[in-house]
Amino acid sequence: MQNAIIIVDHGSRRDESNKMLEQVAALFFERFRAKYEIVEPAHMELAEPSIATAYARCAARGARRIVVVPFFLGPGKHWTQDIPRLTAEAAGQFPETTYHVSPTLGTDDLILDLLDKRATHCQSHGYLCDICKGTLRSGSQLSAECKAQSAE
């Protein structure tokens, strides 16, 4: 039985955010291709591919068991209601498949390591790296717009 993974995020109006999920799915596939023959990205809303589109792609590629993995931190409404409902609706078109929605990322030790990695990056770059320099993400300098608003 072929297994497929759908990695699903919320979806965004920002193309950059949606493309990041495509990159995550591609990297996941490269790393775990021996375990999962099919990996597809999906957005819960706001962008394509939707869960229904990704599910159909998996089924068309021969998947019979599809695991939907939420790219969400906590078990909120999207995990408890929206993603299972959207997945069930998609699965209804493919009775030869079974599906399961995995838990969210949660408070895993790997998440703690990632938080430390992000904070260490800021620290090692003197809290002013090229990613945040000149933006509101860097508290060491306000953008011109904020300075103007502060002066008012």
Each domain of the chain, given as residue ranges in start order, spans 2-101, 109-151
Q: Is 80 helix (H, G, I), strand (E, B) or coil?
A: helix
Write down the pTM of the prediction.
0.84
Q: What is the pLDDT of residues 83-110, one digit of tens each?
A: 999 999 999 999 999 999 999 999 999 9
Q: What CATH code is assigned to 2-101? A: 3.40.50.1400
Per-residue exposure over 23-46, b if at least 16 CB sit within 10 Å of its own CB, e if not = eebeebbeeeeeebbbbbbbbbee
Model pLDDT for residues 141-150, shown as the tens digit of each residue: 554 555 555 5
pLDDT at 131: 80
- Say how far residue 81 (Cα) sits from the centre of its chain: 17
At which residue do the structure tokens 């320099």 appear? Answer: 133
